[in-house]
Structures are given as structure tokens and as C-alpha cells.
Amino acid sequence: MSVIVYLENWEGKFKKNTFEAAQYAAKTAEMMGTEAIGVTFGDISDDASVIGKYGLSKVINLKGGDFTEFNNYKVAAALKDVASQNGGDTYIISGTFNGKAVAPVLAIQTEAGLITNVIDMPSSTSPLTVKRSVFSSKGLVSYSTDVANRIVVFIPNSVGVTEGEGSAEMSEGSVSVGDVPQSNVTDVDRVKGKIPLPEAERVVSGGRGMKGPENWGMIEELAEVLDAGTACSKPVSDMGWRPHTEHVGQTGIAINPDLYIAIGISGAIQHLAGVSNSKTIVAINNDAEAPFFKAADYGIVGDAFDVVPKLTEAIKKFKAEN
């Protein structure tokens, strides 16, 4: 037995959730008394040895025409092949959009037990037992699987990472992908210079209280000083004030950053369902009765148009002094 971990990269670069996956796999392997092997695809421009700081010593890089663009079936087939070459029975995948496209396919191809939406390290590895979030964060439940192969998909940023010592060795591998269903990526459109929401450690979010898209400048400025991503409530994206990809909540993206600042958002149950796992929540609202204050750690009752610029200045000042 061994642990196989999908180390996703974005145009050759690793991100925090790659490290989180590496560490998850290394710790799981330790619990099982075995080794963990990372698998990454395409050309890597980052220094792959940094993966070692998160406990992995071995990374296999798969290159070639099959992996120049993302295809969930090819990634699944490759992970399966690496596992069969290395006695892998446990797969760790970060729940990014790509991770979620790979996992169910891999589960069928390896006849594995698949547990998704996981928020913690396994409490046992035999049978594999992990805690997962259900009902859009309104509940938690432990799941287990006792089949030979198993796949854990964890929610990015839910287990966290701590950098340690160590260095990983990266080697080129070869796999056979075989005949898989075809689909072709014809165009990739990634917003440049912005932090994608699922991996943002800090998020500044605006609601209908912002009155109109022309007022988002102050949200973006606050986000910039905090090195944060920007998000919005559902009506804001429905009205076209902000792109759909910023819509958080039960029917948008579920996030769990270290800091979530909600500005002019009432705190409807469907909104909270996607953000309540944030470690620290700040609500800024001119209505003292806004439900968001019940879900927040810190609250300011006030007019966003007054409070937000002041807060941005205060943070700038703090950063300059520290």
C-alpha cells in the first residue's frame, strides 16, 4: 500500500492547496506506515523540491501530449497507473474544480470508495474514516469506507499547511492512459492578477448594500491592502454588478478563508451557508439588526461608504508601521 496525491499546478506553478494536498498525503501515509508519492502534470516552472517542506519526498512528473491540457479522464488514468506501479491504494485530491472532475472518474476506474467535502485528517485509516461537511456547512458527519482503494477529496484551505524541513526529489515518469472519452479544451480564460476565491486566505465581499457596481472601487482597495480576493452576494452577481465567479454562498462558491469581511450583506441563510466556515468573520452593515452580526466575530454598525475607506487607511497605516 501507498498514498498517491494529485499535485495540481497552474501553468507550471504550485499553489497553497497543492502544498495542503502534499501534507495531507504525507500525514495519511505516516498513519498507514507507508510512503506518499506526488504526481504532477506538464511542465513545472516552480522548484519542485519545495514540496518536500510539506512532507513528501517523491514526486513523479508526467509530461507529453496527453497532459498539455487538462482532461479528467487522462489524469484519472495516469493516477491509477502510477498507483499500480507503486502499490497505491489511497488517493488524496484537493477539491478544486479540476480535482472534483477527476475524483469520481478515478473512483469508478479503481473501484474505490470516494469521500468528498472532507474537512479534517482521517481519524482512522483502517477502515478509512474522515469527517466531512454536509448540508452546506450546517452539519458535519463522519464517513468511512472499507473497500481496498479509497479516495479523499478535501475542501481547499480546510486542513491548512505548516511548512517544515525537507526536500522532494522529482523524476519523470511514464504511464499509459489508454483509450479515454475525448473532450478538448479550446480556450482558457483565467482572470489575471486576481486571487481565485477558493484559495484566497482573505476575502472582501460586497452585497446589495453597496448600491451599484460603480462603488466596488473601495471593496477592491480594501482587498488590495489585505492581499485578499473579492466576492459578492448572489443578487449582486445576478444583477451583473460583479461576475458570477465571485458569487459565494450555498449556490455559489463555498469558501473558508482565514478572514471574511462582509460589507453591505444582510447575512441570509443561503449566503452564510457558503462562508460560515471562514475562520474569522467581520460584518460591516448600517443596520444593527442585520442577521450577519449573529454569524460574525467582529461587527461594525455603520455606513459602508464611510467605514470601508477608513478601514483601508487604518490597515495601510498598520502595515506601514509593522
Partner 1 sequence: MKVLVCISHVPDTTSKINFTSDNKEFDKAGVQFVINPYDEFGLTRAIWLQEKQGATVTVLNVGRAETEPTLRKALAIGANDAIRIDADPTDGYFVAQQIAAVAKENNYDLIIAGRESIDYNGGQVPGMLAAMLNIPFINACMGLEIEGDKASLIREIDGGKEKISASLPLVVGGQKGLVEEKDLKIPNMRGIMSARTKPLAVRPAVDADHKTSVGSFEKPAPKSAVKMIDADNVEELVSLLHNEAKVI
Ligand X SMILES: Cc1cc2nc3c(=O)[nH]c(=O)nc-3n(C[C@H](O)[C@H](O)[C@H](O)COP(=O)(O)OP(=O)(O)OC[C@H]3O[C@@H](n4cnc5c(N)ncnc54)[C@H](O)[C@@H]3O)c2cc1C
The secondary structure of 118-159, three-state, reads ECCCCCEECCEEEEEEECCCCEEEEEEECCCCEEEEECCCCC
Smaller CB separation from ligand X, 56 or 236: 236
Instruction: Compute how many residues bind partner 1; rule: CB under 8 A.
Output: 96
Single residue of 104, 109, 194, 305 touching ligand X by CB under 6 A: 305
Smaller CB separation from ligand X, 76 or 282: 282
Single residue of 266, 276, 278, 312 touching ligand X by CB under 6 A: 266
Q: Restricting to residues 217-256, name those near partner 1 by CB under 8 A.
A: 226, 234, 238, 244-245, 247, 250-252
Which residues participate in the annotated binding site for FAD? 208, 264-271, 285
Residue 90 neighbours by CB under 8 Å, 6+ apart: 1, 2, 3, 4, 28, 29, 32, 125, 128, 149, 150, 151, 152
Q: Say if CB 262 and CB 207 are below 8 A apart.
A: yes
- What phi and psi values does residue 15 have, to the nearest 5 degrees? -125, 175
The span from the CA of 299 to the CA of 277, in Å, is: 17
Q: Restricting to residues 244-263, name those near ligand X by CB under 6 A.
A: 249-252
**58 three-class SS:** strand
Q: Which residue has the cell 469527517?
A: 131
Residue 140's binding partner out of ligand X, partner 1, none, with CB under 5 to 8 Å set by partner kind: partner 1
Q: Identify the CA nearest to 22 among candidates 50, 54, 46.
A: 54
- Cis before residue 291, ω within 30 degrees of 0? no
Q: Which stretch binds ligand X (CB under 6 A): 28-36, 51-59, 104-112, 301-309?
A: 301-309
Single residue of 64, 97, 167, 178 touching partner 1 by CB under 8 A: 97
- What phi and psi values does residue 125 have, to the nearest 5 degrees? -110, 0
Q: Restricting to residues 30-69, name those near partner 1 by CB under 8 A.
A: none
Instruction: Compute how many residues bind ligand X; rule: CB under 6 A.
Output: 25
Q: Restricting to residues 219-238, name those near ligand X by CB under 6 A.
A: 233-236
Residue 265's binding partner out of ligand X, partner 1, none, with CB under 5 to 8 Å set by partner kind: ligand X
Residue 142's binding partner out of partner 1, ligand X, none, with CB under 5 to 8 Å set by partner kind: partner 1
Q: CA 27, 31, 32 angle in degrees (round to 5)? A: 115
The span from the CA of 1 to the CA of 305, in Å, is: 58
Single residue of 33, 185, 289, 320 touching partner 1 by CB under 8 A: 185
Q: Restricting to residues 149-208, name those near ligand X by CB under 6 A.
A: 207-208
Q: Say if CB 258 and CB 288 are below 8 A apart.
A: no
Strand partners, 59: 38, 170
**288 three-class SS:** coil
Q: Which stretch binds partner 1 (CB under 8 A): 43-51, 145-153, 161-169, 204-212?
A: 145-153
The answer to whether 309 contacts ligand X (rule: CB under 6 A) is no
Smaller CB separation from ligand X, 105 or 311: 311
First-residue to last-residue Cα distance in the chain? 48
The answer to whether 265 contacts ligand X (rule: CB under 6 A) is yes
Q: Restricting to residues 42-61, name those near ligand X by CB under 6 A.
A: none
Residues contributing to the site for ligand X (CB under 6 A): 207-209, 233-236, 249-252, 264-266, 268, 270-271, 274, 285-287, 290, 303-305
